[in-house]
Structure 1
Amino acid sequence: MPEPRDLRVISCPHPFRVEREITRMHPGQTVGQLLAEILPDPWRRRQAQVTVNGEIIHLEMWASTIPRPGSLVVVRVFPSSRGIASIFIAIAVIATAFFAGPALASAFGFGSSALWGGLAGMAVGIVGNMIVNALIPPARVSSQGQISQAQDSPTQFISGARNQLIKFGTIPSLLGFHRIVPLKLAEDYTESEGKDQFVRCLFGQHGPVEVSEMQVGNTAWETFEGTESEIRGGWEDDQPLTLFTQDIHEDSTSILLEYNVEQVRTSQTLARELSFDITFPQGLCAYSGNNRVSYTCTFQPRYRLTDAGGGSPGPWINLGIFSVTGASSAAIRKGFRWILPAEEQYDVGLKRLTIADDTTHVSVSYWTAFRTIKYTQPITYPDPLLLIAVRIKGSNQLNGTLDEFNFLGKSVFPDWDSETETWIIRATNNPASLFRALLQGQAAPNPYEDAEIDLNKLAYWHEYCVAKGFIYEKNVDQAGDWWGQLCEVAAAGRARPTDYDGKISVVLDEPQEDPVTIFTARVIRNLEVELLYPDLPHAFRCPFNNRDNDYQKDERLVLADGYQIEGLDAWGQAHPEYPPATKFEQLVLEGVTDPEQIFKLARYHFAQATLRYRKITFDTDLQNLVCTRGDLVDLAHDVIMVGLSSGRVKEVLLEIIGWTEDEPPQPIYSGLISGVALDEICPMQAGQTYFIQFRVPGEELLACQVVTDPGEPKEVIFETFLDAESTNLAAGDLFNFGGSIQVVVTDIKRKGNLEATLTVQDAAPAIHQADQGEIPEFVSTITIPPEWWVPVIDSIRSDGSVLWRAPDGSWVSRILVSLKRLTSRDQDVVGIEGQYWRTGSDETPTFLPLTLIDVGEISLVAVEDGVSYDFRLRYVKGDGSRGPWGATQTHIVEGKTAPPEDVTGFNIYQVKEQVNWAWNRNPDLDIEGYIIAYGAVGVTKAEAIIITEVMLGTSYNSPMVPPGTWDFLIWARDTSGNDSANVTRKSFKVVSFYQTLADVPQFSLWPGTLTNLVRDPMTGHLHPQSQADSGANDLNMFDYYVYDPYAEMSYESPEIDLGEDMAARSWARIYDQLGPGESGSIEPILYFDYKPDGGSYGGWTEWSIGPFMGRYAKDKISMQAADGLRKLTDFEPVIDKSF
């Protein structure tokens, strides 16, 4: 199995053939290295042209160009310039001769064009159209044009046919099986035996043929008396006939035969048979009284060699007694015949053994004829012929002559044997075998060699015909066109002759699943469309020789769908409601003798006329090299209105599943292709399903469903991601978006520079099922751009960023709908209008005033926050006409109920003791201000210490943040009191610009004053004290954390003495945790008090950080039970001053 990234190499190594060799090669080699393997011949390499993914690689780049994995490499060898003109002229002549058709009939020795005279007089209907345009047309030689002359065929029809002698006519050729009334190849001659007359006849035609079931009329040959037959099958080694010859020498004599007197006569030389006649001129009888009775006269014949050697005769050889019996007074004549042992000259003696007459007997006898018969062929012909010589008693059996002789013939030709996969000689009626016979047999004007025939394709076709039950059976007995006969045989097997790399081959019309390529507007020029509107009959009348009725002339009516004859449809089902068939057209399927095959082919031609009446011709580039006649391809082009867009891939998009920790971060890919970026827009409408196709080099067409993105995106995302390793999709690959049609290539005309003109027709796969069910109507695949687009919505917003300021200055909610700009939109559209209403209500919709198209936005005002609204939009043209409404959209108004947007652009820096914060202005219009807070790394919004509240600026600074690494938080608040849904967080280390004067940790001895708190001796932490037992360790004593605690608890640290009055700053580090099972968000509150030297304390003040002037200071922590019970794990009062 090839690796998915291998190179796919298509090489055409012969300058004058289109034969392709498709191989896979490992990537990593240069073009030059690849060519060395593909084309070992240096001369051919020098004449090669190489393309990689459609780009020509010139000779000087071969050594440095390495095709990327998965590339398509095409190598084509061209002839050198010397002698090109004369070679091309020769090729043109050959090609013209090969496809000239009827015009070359006389060159093949097959009569003149007069045989086609009947065609011009026929009505040009469905059959005439198919003959000219169909991929597999009905046969035209001696059929559609000559049907009025069919009854003149001397051998084709049994009823009324006679054995005719045509001295200078066409010798028939049997193709397949058929009952034949053969032509006579020579004049009949008669002979007598006694009173009986015998007729000898010679019949024949081209062989080899197997002969069976000989008849005279409808009576079997074996039932007649006195018959002899001799058959030579038409082989090269056939022996001469002995039953019929044209060299008979007769001596008329009148020799009286007397009793016991021998008469001797000498034959001609080289005699093979001798015969004589004895005549009784007065009759032969006896009288008994007045009655005439029978009487017998006997004779003694004998013969000898005239010269047995040395001039002496040979010994006599007796032939027995020859008797003649009669009872008539009229003349009687009787003959005697015998075959000789060798071709020599003989003496014949004849003696009467009956005594002479008396008064009661009449028997006077004379020897009246003596014949010498030599065995020579009755006719001269360069090729072996089927010869049938017969001898039959004519008396009382024939009406004068033998002219109704017929037999069942079976042509013998090379026939494909699928078991042994060889061609063997045997009787056959398979169209593929007969096609080969026409190319190589006696009928071929210039017989083909095996090497000139695509025998592999004929073998495949043979098996196809066996599977379909296709046969061909016809005795070709009229001069005609050899090429037309070839087409006729091919048509019976649903095929058509063609030329492939100088070999004669066939094109089959059979189901195909995978198109080999796609042609889009990017690679098409000069596209033309011809519509062949069919004038369909109600039924075909198909005359044929019915093999089921001994090949008698018959006719089958094949109905079109929807019509009936005598209440029955095409399938024999009762449908009296259908209209009766009244319009008929004759369809002659020459050589088809099976009624079922007649039905299959007639239905097939009905389907062709119904589903393939469009012929498309276009020019294209080297992409034509990947297809041949009969191939299935995809087609998309704006002229035929198929497809919405085509172009090339700019970039393959890979799925990103994360980012690295590098600076800057790098994407981490999943190994899947999520979509593509393109060089053309892909117009989409909501509610539709879209597919995109790619022409991937080296692979078949790749088709993917895309996520519908209304508008005109240049990037599309796949519904199902593709594996990047096994998919060779890459930048530069051709794409087609929005649909294509499948067509069959019916003709390719090569041009210069690897270009060609292609003719295609709709593939219409239903054609192949026409003999199994109804033919569907032609379904147009036109991708018609809508007369009206509907507005495509880009976004719907109703949050604080789109509030509308009322005349009184207040902010009012609205729904703002932004629209996409469509380049494919009708330029006559000038505006957009809409209507909206409360979801689920019966209220009359509110109409929106017309908004000019260039505005790009629609506002729905007078809406309420939190309420759901439905709305829809449509385009309006300059003439006032209105398009269809777009899909109804539903939206819940966020308004001022929605939180403001999160703060963005949050930055922190420090200048000496000043910490500075800056951020971007929030897009919400009703912002009241911003809140900044800080705390330990990971601090929550609820636990953070507020630095400033509700300020409208976008920057702030403060010296009151203590040194350390902190998380700083910021969020916005609107006029309705809503905070941003998420805080914006940034970590920053505040550097100290102060000298520490006191830093007094209280853990773990807690030397200060405890009020309603208890110290845990195991951990050293302070816990709330229970009123139930103030002396116990509450953690060990109660199931719940501190049962029945005091309402307020506090810890006051010992006094700090700075030694003298000074200006300083006070703050503290507080570490606490909620107790087990507790909840709450309010942190312990810090209080501070100080006094100067000699002064008094002023009272506790709630504190965070700040300056003071004094010598003595003390700190206190206070907690409320209602805010959640907490334990204090550490407390460090700090006093410092700036340097």
Structure 2
Amino acid sequence: MTTRFTGNWSISISPGTLGSSINNNTNLQPQAGGALPGPQIIWTTKQILNSTSVTNSGAWGAISGTEKSFMNEYAVWYSTNTSFDQTVTVNFPYEGSYTVEAAVDNKGKIIIDNQTIEIPNNSFKSQSSTAPYITNVYVNAGIKSIRIQASNDEQTTILDPNRANAGIAIRIVFIADNIVNYVPGANYITIGDNEFINYKDGFNFPITWDNLVPGQYRVKLTRTSTSDPDYQTDYRHSFRTQFLSATAFKPGISIQPPKGIGICRTGLVVESSGKVNGQIDGINALVETLGWDYVTLPNNTKGWVAFQPINNPASLFVHVLISKANAYNISETEMWTKINRLEIEDWHTYCNTEVANVRPILTYNGIVSSTTSILDILKDICAAGMASPVFIDGKWSVVIDRARPHVIQHFTPHNSWGFEATKNLPKLPDALRISFPDETNSFQVKEILVANFGKTIADAKIIEEIQLPGITRIEQARYFARWHLAQMYYRPEIFSINVDFEYLICTRGDRVKVTHDIPLWGAGSGRIKAISSNLLQLTLTEPVYLEAGKSYQIRIRTDNLTSSIGSGSIERTLSTISTSGNYDIITLSSAVNNTVKVDDLFMIGELNKITQDLLVQSVEPSSNTSAKLTLVEYTDSIYNFQFRPFDESTTQLPSYSINISKRLGSDTTKNTIAVSPIIISIESRNEFSEQLSQGNYQNITIITWENAINLPVIAEKVEFQIISGNEQFNDKKQLGVYIANKETISYIVRGLEKDKVYKFRARYRNGTGNIVGPWSEEYAITITGKNSNPFKPTDLQITLEGTNIVVKPTLATGVTVPADHKTYEFRLYRSSVGITNNNSQDQD
């Protein structure tokens, strides 16, 4: 028995949702959009009569009546031919689902617009006038090709001379209420009254309504034919139907991008079949960014060209900054006034250049799938190109982490303070695990392991995972993995120093040289105090301990450091040291040039150990024209080692050198003072004045301070500097320098002028003055001096002796007359209430 999914059914759609009310403010009337009112015959086989050999139609065989009325009405054939093959063109006026009715004697098929319909063999024998073989085909509007094929392998008889003729009957109908072709009702749309036959298994069928008014709708499925599954003996009918889902979409571009923003869009047309179930959860697509790229022009020069497919990090960096998706984007007309063109072009070339066995071409292929800041996107792009974004002098630029042959700045304890060091002590992993979308395998996620230097994957026990955004090529992923492993090895420490306005010379990524006594970099530092006439002998402000038998060099920073990169410092070798000791005068093996001047910064150390090379990682300006610099190790090994991204050999990295110089000598073991005295008060009062002679006084000013916590032993004395209030402090012009032992806590300054403003500051120093600390804050005070006499008598005794008034001052017990007291002055006033005694004053 054959199972047939058949039956007449109807689907209606009306406003509202089950169990909910309709918004009265919304028009939910369905719209028909010009559907046809009823069935329309598009084409039949009778229309090919009078074609070549097609001259017969109508009554089929010797049988007449209604049993084979469909064949009697539409059948065509070749006389005495056992095969039939005709191709015709038919105009399909509408896009939609067409009903195809067919019967054949005894084999045949129809090909409509490359869609093949197989007709059941001998179908004419079981077809009634109302039920030929029926199926549906979806056709786009237009003139389409139809090919009709039939064959007959039977033999003719006397009763039926046409028995061997190959005959076929076809009728194509467009039904207005069929599937996608519907008619409107007052408040609903009904489609249906169709029969689907000869499907043994269940199947899905999509139904589409066009031009519905936006709103909420109710969907109902109703059977309209008999529900008897056994109304015929040779077939079994099944009537089970299930509503799967409803999906609404808006034709055309459903999402409009912001004005001026180019977004890649893809349109899909999916035709359902009996094998499709449910809905499409997602699709994959390969897309690329179009933007400005730095390319080779026809005249063999390099230049920027728009609308190029780009994945070079430098080009993407520019694209993000000028993109309309960036609310603060840079316009294309002014992009090179706000982007450092030379640096970006240099970076583009760097990323696009492959160094054999060392560095692959660097690209970025990332997807921004969530809201993020522009700076974070730029950081990810730059990281894929071995760089980081910076904003310098009003322009966007990058700093590439690559070898830097030029030194930009020098730092010592004499132009910096507050040295700090932090050392990480991690256990380095044996290998790194990296997951990335592999562009050679349709961007499917690929996972690889990269062994550390000196290790193999086979013996790797500690494995850590890192993320590499935008990396899609295995050679680039392996390269970055080994690069990070090398950085963990060569850059375990982070250093920081505080610097005054000299920090302006360097910026992030610059190479600097540092000599400092805390990490024992170099033998000493200071400034040039004097230069001999033959330029071979230098006098230093700070003595340096030098050992006999060792070779030393001096590096001098001159004032033309920025005239050309790296040219502002010179190195000279010292003459042989025959006796160990502290030297403040040194002799050079070759003369310095005229660029060396008094007060230039110097650094001395053993051969090849004068300074430590560091990279500026960050600059944090403060409010008082100074900044904190964060520094990391610079070593040529990290740039010169050949990584060979696919090399899994056990080759070790070159040894890491900490570049420490052993120091001897009393002044060089602890020669840094990093704090200043804490000034408590500065006072100048009348009673402090000292009498030098009768009527001649000297003003006294008393400075009181408190010593800083953790003060080093080498800080033995406190040095004060005092200048006039209308001048500025400097190390060369000093009005007065006063020195006191740090334990005295106070100091007396004599001889400052009365009623004049003075500025004060203080610092610590050692006993000889060659090691000093930073100056304290500045303080200002007006000197009071000796300008009044506070002495007066306690009371007056007044008596009348005849016509004379006798006045006698009296003193309370314990009050004595000062030594500089000379005489009294009396004043007599007339009063309406009698004579009033006024305070008398001492007269100098």
State the TM-score, normalized to the length of structure 1: 0.37
Q: Where is the strand percentage greater, Structure 1 or Structure 2? A: 1
State the TM-score, normalized to the length of structure 2: 0.49
Larger-Rg structure: 1
